[in-house]
Amino acid sequence: MAYFDSASSAPLHPVARQALVASLDEGWADPARLYREGRRARLLLDAAREAAAEAVGCRPDELVFTSSGTRAVHSGVAGVLAGRRRVGRHLIVSAVEHSSVLHAADAYEADGGTVTRVAVARTGSVAASSYAEALREDTALACLQSANHEVGTEQPVAEVAEVCRAAGVPLLVDAAQSLGWGRVDGDWSVLTASAHKWGGPSGVGLLAVRKGVRFAAQGPADERESGRAAGFENIPAIVAAAASLRAVRAEADAEAVRLRELTERIRARVPSLVPDVEVVGDPERRLPGVVTFSCLYVDGETLLHELDREGFSVSSGSSCTSSTLTPSHVLRAMGVLSEGNVRVSLPMGAAEEDVERFLSVLPGAVAAVREKLGAPIPATVVREDVLVVDALGKRCPIPVIELAKVIGDVPLGGTVRVLSDDEAARLDIPAWCEMRGQEYVGEEPAERGSAYVVRRVS
C-alpha cells in the first residue's frame, strides 16, 4: 500500500518513535514539582521547547505547546483579538485558510466582529496588495497560511507581513503544512503548527507569540504554558514532536529536491495520460511533495475508492466526501473544478517506483469511474434559440457531463441552459467552461434550483 496523503497526516518519523518510547520512563511526572522526578520532566520539557523554538525561529519563552494545531490556531486568534480589542474588531483572513482559521473567524463574526476574506488567484495565491487594501484602522489581526493544505500553493508571507507590520497589525501564520520544510520567512507576529504534519505524534501543537504582541489568553486562568495552553503537558509526545521536527529539518533540503522531481513528474504526465484533466495550484511556488489535479466527469469520492483498491491512499477536495456535501472552500475560492479532485501528497521517503505505479494505474481508475457513472442521455428541449438541459435531481458531475454532451448541438454563439439543484454545479459549470474554452454567461433563477447559461464559442 502506498500512502500518498502526508498533507493530512505524515507517518510517524522513526526519531519520533524512539524519543516517545525513551521519554515515557522519564517524562511522566509533573514538571511543575521540585522533587527529582518533576525536575527530570522539566528538563525534558525545556529541552523540547528550546529545540522547537530554534526550528521556528523564535525565543523559547515565546513558544508554548498546545493539545493540537487547531487548538493553537483558536488560542492564537482569540488571544490576539482580545489583546487588541481597543484597536478595533476587524479580522482579515484569506479565502483559502484551513478550516480551523475560518471557524475561528466565523465565531468572531457571530460575536459581533467584522471579517474580511481576501480573494485568491486561480493558483490559490493571495496578493500582498489585497491585504494592504483590506487593512483598516480598526484591524486587530490578519491571518495567512504559509502554504495551502489542499493544493500546495505557498503564500507570499514575507510580503504580507511587511504590509501588516507597516500598518501596525500583527500577522498570524498557520505554518502547519510548511514548518517541516523550513522556517517561515518574514516578520510574522504569531505562528501555529501541528506535529503530526511533519511526522511527530498527533495531539501536539505549537503556538509562538512574539514579544511585544498584545495577547490576552481566553478561558479560565491556568498556570501552565505561560497561561496560554491549559492542562497537564504530554511531555513524551512533546519531546517526540520536537525531536522529529529537528530530524526532518536535517533531511529537508535533499528530500525537497527529490520530492519536487517526483511531483513534477506527476504534474507533467497526468494530463497526457488522462483526458480532460486540469492540474491546479501554483506551478512554481508550491510545497515539495504536493500535487493536485481535477478530472472532468468524475466523482472524487468514487475515484478515491478506486485508487484505494489499487493500493494508493490519496485525498480529495471533492464536494462528495463522507463528511460534507458542499464543495471544498479552497477549490471554490480558486474557481477550479470541485469534482474529480485528487491530492497526492508524498511523505518523506516516498519511493519512485510507487509514483510510477500510480501513474500506470490512474488512467484505468479514472476510466472505470467514468464508465460506472454512465452519463445518462440528457433530457433536452429547445426553447426558442436556447438548448435546455434538465439535470434536476442529479448530483455533480452528471450536470457537467450532460452539458458536455450537448454543447456541440448548438451553433457557435448559441447557448445551453443547464437546470440543476446541486450546489456543486455553481462551481463546476463555470470551471468546466474555463477548461473547455466556452463562455459562462451566468446563473439565472429557476422554479427549482438554478439555471446556468453557457454560450458556445468554440
Cβ(399)–Cβ(391) below 8 Å: yes
Amino acid identity for residue 202 in this structure: S
Report the pLDDT value the prediction gives residue 337, as an integer from 0 to 100.
Answer: 87
Residue 190 belongs to what H/E stretch? strand 190-194
Beta carbons within 10 angstroms of residue 63's beta carbon: 24
pLDDT over 90, % of the chain: 80
Taking all residues of the chain, what is their mean pLDDT, rounded to a whole number? 92
* Residue 283 CB contacts under 8 Å (≥ 6 apart), including other chains: 123, 267
List residues bridging with 443 in a β-sheet: 452
DSSP for residue 220: S
DSSP 343-371: EEEPPTT--HHHHHHHHHHHHHHHHHHHH
Report the pLDDT value the prediction gives residue 375, as an integer from 0 to 100.
Answer: 40
- The least confident of 3-7, 84-88, 151-155, 400-404 is 400-404
Per annotation, catalytic residue among 58, 320, 396, 433: 320
Q: How confident is the model at residue 419 (pLDDT cuts 50, 70, 90)?
A: very high
Report the pLDDT value the prediction gives residue 17, as an integer from 0 to 100.
Answer: 97
Angstrom distance (rounded) from CA 369 to CA 129? 42
Strands 341-345, 290-295: pairing kind: antiparallel
374's grid cell = 454512465
Average pLDDT over residues 308-335: 78
pLDDT tens, residue by residue, 117-161 = 999 999 999 999 999 999 999 999 999 999 999 999 999 999 999
- The least confident of 188-197, 288-297, 379-388 is 379-388
Average pLDDT over residues 15-41: 94
Angstrom distance (rounded) from CA 257 to CA 241? 24
Angstrom distance (rounded) from CA 230 to CA 221? 8
pLDDT tens, residue by residue, 264-285 = 999 999 999 999 899 999 999 9
Angstrom distance (rounded) from CA 349 to CA 251? 10
164 is catalytic: no
361's grid cell = 494505474
Report the pLDDT value the prediction gives residue 322, as an integer from 0 to 100.
Answer: 46
Residue 177 belongs to what H/E stretch? none
Cβ(173)–Cβ(202) below 8 Å: no
Average pLDDT over residues 226-247: 94
Report the pLDDT value the prediction gives residue 376, as an integer from 0 to 100.
Answer: 37
DSSP 270-324: HHHHSSSEEEES-SSSB-TTEEEEEETT--HHHHHHHHHHTTEE-B---S--SS-
